[in-house]
A and B are shown apart, each in its own frame.
Chain A
Amino acid sequence: MKKQILFGLFGLLLLQSAFAAGTHYEMRVDGLACPFCAYGIEKNLKAIEGTANINVDLDKGLVSVDIGEGKALTEEQMKKLFDDSGFTYRSMIKKPLE
């Protein structure tokens, strides 16, 4: 039992360090008016391996997401993702997760 707990804690530490070494993306998106309609964005971002902490700010037209180490989101990928979700991608800024 103690061994399992130790392994669990170790796993959590690894996960935390993976995201700690990952990237935070903040994307400007136009057309975000209703929360219900934005669900497609959450679903499509979740389908990308390694994504976490998805947040949508409707008033500022911002969508943010974290992605783990060794993975990246591209402009082309986001343009298509937001188009498939029914919105218009404008730009992104990214910064390393601390």
Chain B
Amino acid sequence: MTGGNRMGFYGLGAALLVLLISRPIFAHDPIFGLGPHVLFKNGFEVAAEVGSEKAGSEKEQALALEVTYGLTGDWALGVDLPYAFKEEASESSSGKGDVAVFTKYRFWRKDSLGLQESAAVLLKVITDTADTNKTPALDKGATDTILGLTYGYEGRKWYRWASARYRFNGTNDAGVNRGDKILIDFVGGIRPTPTGYLEPDTVWLLELNGEYGERAELNGVELSNTGGTEWFLSPGIFWTRRNFAIKAGVQIPIYHNLNGNQEESDYRAKVAFEWHL
């Protein structure tokens, strides 16, 4: 593997890590998918998130601090500040991850007694600001942009969401066109016992998360060991009390169709602690 190819290959690996934390956390939204929740006007949401992923001999962990501000009752802005740990075979590295900024706008809302249906769009830019010169690489060497569309149904007992995201992956410093990605999510949730305002509240979730990645290209030539499809079944929980929430979930792979010789995902897990201020 040449130096440039190695850098491009590691950059693709680093992109996997970014997937762990590439979704803004919002209140009663899915753990891995995207939901239409925003934040009340002038409110702040502070979230600390831990993500973990294993694919064959690759292990990745990421810590992220996310701060979101409610510009209006339907429009929020935020920033992700990640710190990453990565292991590949016998090598490991850690350092600052890529800072990301995002905005979500809820363009439709239909409220009735004990029920809210809504839809929102998301724009997220994941900058190329991670620590460089690490082995395995933490930086992906490019700026990526995610566009998302989501619908949510939130009742006193039942929840359901559907979302689609398109990730425009930039060409990295080694000249690798990393291939765009499409993410599809279908999620159901249940609150077994409807609770009152100041009572602890638990909602159980089951997500179906699909990911399709295009093949990467270098100098117009497709790289064989890149791209493909994976589907995950992801049980999760959110527990809340007044303005504090804990969200946790695990993605269990149920289908792989990756191109060439690639490590298939073994699992992904995420825990987030969230405060509304």
Contacts and interface: CB of A to CB of B under 8 A. Distances in A.
Interface in B174-201: 191, 194-199, 201
B242 A83 contact: no
Contact of B73 (A43, A55, A59, A84): A84
B156 A35 contact: no
Chain B facing A: main interface SS: loop
Nearest to B199: A35
Interface in A19-71: 30-41, 43-44, 55-59, 61
A4 to B, nearest CB: 33
Contact of B156 (A36, A56, A59): A59
Nearest to B277: A43
B39 interface: yes
Nearest to B113: A61
Chain A interface main SS type = mixed
Contacts of A33: 114-116, 154-156
A44 B39 CA distance: 12
A55 B242 CA distance: 12
Contact of A86 (B74, B242, B245): B74
A61 B114 CA distance: 6
A32 to B, nearest CB: 6
Interface residues of A, number: 26
A31 B109 contact: yes
A57 B197 contact: yes
B40 A43 contact: yes
Nearest to A82: B73
B29 to A, nearest CB: 11
Contacts of B112: 30-31
Contact of B41 (A30, A34, A38, A84): A84
B54 interface: no
Contacts of A41: 40
A34 B154 contact: yes
Interface string B84-110: 000000000000000000000010010
B243 to A, nearest CB: 4
A39 B40 CA distance: 9
Interface in B230-262: 240-243, 245
Given A34-B27, A34-B28, A84-B72, 8 more contacts: A30-B113, A30-B115, A30-B116, A31-B116, A33-B114, A34-B203, A57-B197, A85-B40
Contacts of B243: 36, 39
Contact of B196 (A37, A58, A88): A58
B27 to A, nearest CB: 6
Given A33-B114, A33-B155, A85 B41 contact: yes
The 3 closest A-B CB pairs, nearest first, are A40-B40, A31-B111, A84-B41
B160 interface: no
Contacts of B213: none
Contacts of A88: 109, 111
B228 interface: no
B37 interface: yes
Residue among B70, B74, B113, B240 with most chain A CB within 10 A: B113
12 contacts: A31-B116, A34-B203, A35-B197, A36-B28, A36-B201, A36-B241, A40-B41, A40-B276, A56-B197, A58-B194, A83-B73, A86-B39
Nearest to A60: B113
B38 interface: yes
Interface in B34-68: 37-43
Nearest to A47: B42
